[in-house]
């Protein structure tokens, strides 16, 4: 038997149906992702030189109180008092000033107590007592990494 000669397939031309499917998938992707975009709210910024927005006391975002192995207390790496001072009057006065400045600025004062691994617990408790006396509530703890 003889096979009939193979006919050439006619050129179907440009197919629009697959293109419409692709456009709908892309449109669906962008519609779903539009809901996940976070709306940017007003940022509280102060520009330099503007007298109305200038603050009396510049508040740091977070204050780190360090407790060294020898008992030295630091506020953001600045030493406060002596290592043998149990009442920590210098720390109390600094924390009271910062708490009042944060209250006036309507900000939260964030304190991190960062003690070295070999620091005495008694010294950390002294720092916590001073923070309680200064009525500071937002306190977190960290262990200093060895240098």
Specify the pLDDT at position 136.
Answer: 87
Please give the residue range of the domain that contains residue 133: 63-143
Q: What is the rounded distance in angstroms from the CA atom of residue 129 to the CA atom of residue 145?
A: 24
Give domain status of residue 133, yes or no.
yes
Give domain status of residue 55, yes or no.
no
Q: What is the rounded distance in angstroms from the CA atom of residue 61 to the CA atom of residue 80?
A: 20
Give domain status of residue 135, yes or no.
yes
Give domain status of residue 39, yes or no.
no
Specify the pLDDT at position 54.
Answer: 47
Locate 124 and state its tokens.
């950390």
Q: What is the CATH number of the domain that holds 119?
A: 3.30.420.270
pTM above 0.85, yes or no: no
Give domain status of residue 20, yes or no.
no
CB-neighbour burial class of residue 123 (10 A; exposed 0-12, middle 13-18, buried 19+): buried
Give domain status of residue 47, yes or no.
no
CB-neighbour burial class of residue 111 (10 A; exposed 0-12, middle 13-18, buried 19+): buried
Give domain status of residue 5, yes or no.
no
3-state secondary structure of 55: coil
Count structural domains, the chain.
1
- The low-confidence residues of the chain, meaning pLDDT below 50, are 53-54, 57
Specify the pLDDT at position 46.
Answer: 66
Specify the pLDDT at position 21.
Answer: 94
Q: Which residues lie closer than 8 Å to 138 by C-beta, 6 or more apart?
A: 108, 109, 110, 111
Specify the pLDDT at position 9.
Answer: 78
Give domain status of residue 139, yes or no.
yes
């Amino acid at each position: 038997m003889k096979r009939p000669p193979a006919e050439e397939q006619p050129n179907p031309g440009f197919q629009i149906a697959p293109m419409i499917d692709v456009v709908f998938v892309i449109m669906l992707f962008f519609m779903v992702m539009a809901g996940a975009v976070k709306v940017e709210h007003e940022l509280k910024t102060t520009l330099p030189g503007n007298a109305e927005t200038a603050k009396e006391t510049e508040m740091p975002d977070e204050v780190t109180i360090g407790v060294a192995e020898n008992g030295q207390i630091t506020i953001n790496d600045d030493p406060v008092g002596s290592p043998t001072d149990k009442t920590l009057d210098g720390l109390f006065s600094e924390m009271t000033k910062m708490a009042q400045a944060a209250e006036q600025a309507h900000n939260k004062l964030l304190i991190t107590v960062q003690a070295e691994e070999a620091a005495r617990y008694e010294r950390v408790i002294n720092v916590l007592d001073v923070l309680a006396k200064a009525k500071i509530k937002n306190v977190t703890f960290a262990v200093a990494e060895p240098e």
